[in-house]
A and B are shown apart, each in its own frame.
Chain A
Amino acid sequence: MPLTRRHLLAALPVLGAAGLGLGFIRMLHGLDRGQFDPRAINTPLTGQPVPDFPALSSLPGQAGLTREDFRTMTQPVLLSVWASWCLPCVEEIPFISQLAASLAAPQEGRDAPLALWGLCYRDQPASAARWLERAGQPFTRLGLDQDGQAAIEWGVTGVPEAFLIMPDPQVGGRIVWHGTDALTDAAYQTHVVPYLKAAP
C-alpha cells in the first residue's frame, strides 16, 4: 500500500501524543529526583548582584536599608520580606524570632554567621511596628517599602519571601538564594545553612 498524504496526516496525532508522553515521562523522573518542580516560581535574580533600589527609611530608632549597605556588608545577609497584613507572615514570626535570638547569642568569639535584615512590603508604619514588637525586634536593619517600588526591583512575587545575599566586593553583594515561601527551620537548614558552611 503506497504511503499517501492521508497516511502522514493520520500519523500526526500519534506522533504528537508520543511527544507529549515522552515529555511527561521526563517530568515524572524529574519529580522523583527533585529536579522538576511544577510549583517553582520564577526567580530571575538568583545568582545576580543585588539590584539597585530606592533608599528605604525605617521606623524610628532603627537602621534603614539602602543599596550601599550591601556594598559594605561583611557577612552573609538573610533579607526577609514581610508585611503585617499577611497571614503567613504572622505564622512565620516564631521562626524569625527564634533565628534572631540564636544569631544574637554569643558565637565563641566569632562574628555571627549571618545578619537578619527585613524588608517590610506595603505596610502602615504603626502596624509594622506592632508586628516587630511581637517578633521581638528581630532585624538589625529594616526598610519600609511603602510604595512597593523596591520589592519590584528585587523581583518579589509575594510575601513572605526571603533572599540570601553573600558578600561580593566586586559587585557589592550577590543574591544566592530566593525563597518564595514562608521561612521555616527545614527551609533554613536545606537552603541557607549550606551556603553559610561553604562561606570562608
Chain B
Amino acid sequence: MIVLATILCPESGHFALALACALALMQGVLPLAGLRRADSPLTALARPLALSQCLALLFSWACLITASLGNDFSLKLIAETSAINKPWAYKIAGLWGNHEGSLLLWVTLLSLWCAGLALLPGQSPTQPEGLPLRLRARLLALLGLVGAGFQLFCLTTSNPFLRLWPVPADGMGMNPLLQDPGLAVHPPLLYSGYVGFAVPFAFAISALLEGKADALWARHMRPWVISAWALLTLGITLGSWWSYSVLGWGGYWFWDPVENAALIPWLTGTALLHSVLVVEKRNLLHVWCLLLAIATFAFSLSGTFLVRSGILNSVHAFANDPARGLFILGLLGLYGGGSLLLFAIRAPSLPTPQAGFSPLSRESALLLNNILLCTLCAVVLTGTLYPPFMQLLFGRTLSVGKPFFDATTIPLTLPLLAVMGVSMALPWRQARTDRLLPRLVPALLITAGTILPAFWLFPTPLAALAALLALWVISAALCDLFLRLRGLPAGDRQLHRLPRSLWAASLAHVGVGVTILGLCGMAGSQERLIEARPGTHATLTGRDWELTALTPHHGPNYEAVEAHLTIRRHDAHGPVLADLTPEIRLFPQQGQRTLHVAILHRPLEDLYAALGSVKEERDPRGQSHYSAILRLHENPLASWIWLGGIIMALGGGLHLLPSRRRPKPVEGKVGSCH
C-alpha cells in the first residue's frame, strides 16, 4: 500500500506529464521526418509513441486521483478545490472542475483519441479498406504536435501538481453548485467532443500537406467527424439540462459566451458532417470541407480557451489570468492561424472537381444547408464577439442577449428545417421531379394535417410555424425510411436490411425535430413568482399550487429549508396531480446558497418549482413563522429539448456501429478514387 502510494505520488504524476510532453513532441516530429525520408521504421514509431504518451497521461491522472482521495492538501489544486468531508465521487469529479485539472483532462482526452487512432486496424493485405499506414502516421504526428503544445502550456502555466507550503489542515472545499452528478459527466463529454474534432483537423492538414483530398480521404475521416459530433451533441445537451435543472433559473439556454462557444463548433461540425458526405459520394466541396474541418477545431480551441483568458464576460469563467491568456492566444495563433495560412497557400492549387452541381440533387440541398449552418454560426459568433470588440474599438459597453439571438437565429433555422425535410428524399446527382414529389407527398400531408392544431396549441404564430417545420422534418425522415423499405425486393423487406447510415441519418433528423418541438413548446412556458406562507394557494394555467409546509433541516455541511408543494387539477379541491419539494441550501463554509429545484417531468410538460428565498419572522410569543418566495413554472414539452439531443447523438452512434458485410460488396467503387 505504501509502495503504491509512493509510486503514485504527485511528483511521479508531474514527471509523467513532462514525459508525455516529450513523447508527444517525438510523436509529432519523428514520423513526419520518417515520411519525408521514406524511412519506414521512423514512420512506424508514431503508433507506439501515441500509445505510450496516452499511458503516461493516464498515469499522471492516477497520481492526481490518489492524491485527491488521500486528501493530500499539500497539492495546491486539491487544497483549493477539495475538503475532507467531500464525498469521494466528487473528489475525483472535482478534479476537472477547475482550470488546471480541466486542461489535464483536455490533453488526456486528446491522447485517448490518438490511442484510438493508433489502435484502429490499419491497411493490410487482408484489410484493404483500413486506414493507410502513411496517412495514419501523418495524422498521429499532427495530433502529437497539437498535444505537445497544450501539454507544454499545462506544465509551464497551469501545473496541476504544484505543491503548497505551509500545508493546510483541510481544503477550502468545492463550489457547492458544482457538486452535481450532471456536472461530473458534462465536462468530459463536452471536452471529448471538442478534442475529437482534432482528428478531422489532422485529416485536413494532412490533405493540405499532401495536396490531395479525395473520396477515400473523406471516407476515412467520416467516422471521426461523426463520433466527435455525437459527443459534442451529448455534452451540449447535458450542459443545457444541467442549467435547467440545477441552476434553477427556469431557462435552458442563456446565450452565455461559454454556451455559444460550444454551439459554434457544433454548427460548423454539423456542416462538416454533411459536406464530408458530399466529398465521399460526389467528390465535390473538398475545399469547403477542409476549411470547415480547420474552422471547427479552431472554434473548439477558442471556445475552450478564450473563455479562460477573461476576455469574454461569462458566468462560467475560471479564474482569469491574462498571462495564461497570452500563452493560449499564442497556441491558437500557431494551430488555428498556421493551419489557415496553410489553407490559404495550398487550397487554391488543389485539383478542381470536374463534376458540377445539379440544382435539384442531394448535394445541392446539403450545400444549401451548409450555407445556412455557416450563416447561423457567423451570427452567433458576431453576437458573442460584438460586446468585447465594441468596447475595444469604441469604448462602448453593451450586452447582446436573447432578443438579438432570437431575431437572427430563428429566421435562419426555419429554412434550414424546410430543406432538411426535402434533402432526405433527394437522390445524389440529379433528381427527377416526377419521382421526387410522390416521395414527399406523405410527409407533406401529415404536416398539412397538423396546421390547424399547431396554430391552436402553440402560443405564437412563429412557434407554431417552427413546430410545423419540425414535424415536417420528423415525418419526412420517417416516411423516407418507410418508402425505402417498400423499395426493397419483396422477399427482403425487413428493417435491418436498410443501410445503417440511412437509419442513423433519419434518427439524427428526428432528434433535431424533437428538439425544435421542445423549444417551440417552451416558448409558451408560464411562470409565476409568489410570496407565500404555508397554506397559500396560487393558480397557474388552471391548476392549483398550494404551499403546505416549510420545513428547515440540517445537512452534513449545509442548512436547508424545504418547501412542500401540492399541485391539484382544476382548483383547490381537485385531485392531486403531484407533490414537489424544492429546497434551498446554505453552505456556511463557502457562504453560498444553492437552489434545489423540484421538477416533475411529464410527457407533455414539466412542472417546475424553485424556492427563491425564505424569511423567518418571530411573533411576540417567540415562535418562528416562515414565508417564502417561490417561482412556479409550467414548461410545455421541456424534456423534448434534451430527448432530441440524445436522439441526435444516438443517430451518430448508430452510424459508427460496424455494419454487416453486404452480400455483394461493390468492388472498386471507392478504390477507384485513388
Contact = CB atoms under 8 A, between A and B. Distances in A.
A74 B548 CA distance: 56
Contacts of A13: 291, 294-295, 340, 343-344
Nearest to B317: A38
B313 A38 contact: yes
A38 B310 contact: yes
Given A14-B341, A24-B329, A31-B311, A40 B306 contact: no
Given A11-B344, A14-B344, A17-B340, A24 B287 contact: no
Interface string A28-43: 1111100010111111
A32 B322 contact: yes
A148 B183 CA distance: 39
Interface stretch (A1-9, A168-176, A183-191): A1-9
B326 interface: yes
20 contacts: A10-B287, A10-B343, A11-B344, A13-B343, A13-B344, A14-B337, A21-B329, A21-B333, A23-B389, A23-B392, A24-B329, A25-B326, A28-B311, A28-B322, A28-B329, A31-B311, A31-B322, A31-B325, A38-B391, A87-B613
Contacts of B320: 31
Contact of A1 (B295, B326, B349, B387): B349
Question: Top 5 nearest A-B pairs by Cβ distance?
Answer: A14-B340, A38-B313, A6-B348, A11-B344, A10-B347
A20 B337 CA distance: 10
Interface in A87-101: 87
Q: Taking chain A's interface residues, is the majority helix, strand, or loop, or is none over half, making it mixed?
A: helix
Contacts of A27: 311, 388, 392
A6 B349 CA distance: 9
Contact of B332 (A11, A21, A26, A40): A21
B265 interface: no
A196 interface: no
Interface size class of A (residues with CB under 8 A): 20 to 34
Given A24-B306, A32-B322, A38 B312 contact: yes
A181 to B, nearest CB: 14
B541 interface: no
Interface string B324-351: 0110010011001100110111011100
B340 A36 contact: no
Interface of B: 287, 291, 294-295, 298, 306, 309-313, 320, 322, 325-326, 329, 332-333, 336-337, 340-341, 343-345, 347-349, 385, 387-389, 391-392, 396-398, 613
B180 to A, nearest CB: 23
A18 interface: yes
A18 B337 contact: yes
Contacts of B291: 13
A18 B343 CA distance: 14
A31 B391 contact: no
Contacts of B396: 42
Given A13-B294, A27-B311, 11 more contacts: A6-B348, A10-B343, A10-B348, A14-B343, A23-B388, A31-B309, A31-B320, A36-B392, A38-B310, A38-B311, A38-B387
A149 B309 CA distance: 39
A40 B336 contact: no
A36 B348 contact: no
B388 A38 contact: yes
A20 B306 CA distance: 12
A147 to B, nearest CB: 18
B621 to A, nearest CB: 20
Given A6-B348, A10-B348, A17 B337 contact: yes
Contacts of A25: 326, 329
Contacts of A7: 344, 348
B344 A17 contact: no
A34 B398 CA distance: 18
Contacts of A29: 322
* Majority SS at the chain B contact face: helix
B44 to A, nearest CB: 34
Contacts of B311: 24, 27-28, 31, 38
B216 to A, nearest CB: 23
Contacts of B344: 7, 10-11, 13-14
A1 B336 CA distance: 25
B213 to A, nearest CB: 14
Contacts of B313: 38-39
Contacts of A14: 337, 340-341, 343-344
Contacts of A20: 385
A174 B392 CA distance: 27
B391 A17 contact: no
A23 B294 CA distance: 21
A13 B398 CA distance: 27
A24 B309 contact: yes
A5 to B, nearest CB: 9
Nearest to B593: A87
A65 B345 CA distance: 68
Nearest to A32: B322
Contacts of B391: 36, 38, 40
A18 B298 CA distance: 13
Contacts of B312: 38
Given A1-B349, A23-B392, A28 B333 contact: no
A28 B295 CA distance: 23
Nearest to A6: B348
Nearest to B381: A20
Contacts of B332: 21
A125 to B, nearest CB: 17
A158 to B, nearest CB: 12
A25 B311 CA distance: 10
B614 to A, nearest CB: 12
B381 to A, nearest CB: 9
Contacts of A39: 313
Nearest to B298: A17
Contacts of B333: 21
Nearest to A41: B397
Given A18-B337, A28-B325, A31-B311, A40 B343 contact: no
B325 A30 contact: no
A24 B613 CA distance: 40
Contact of B392 (A6, A21, A30, A41): A30
Contacts of A11: 344
Nearest to A30: B392
A19 to B, nearest CB: 10
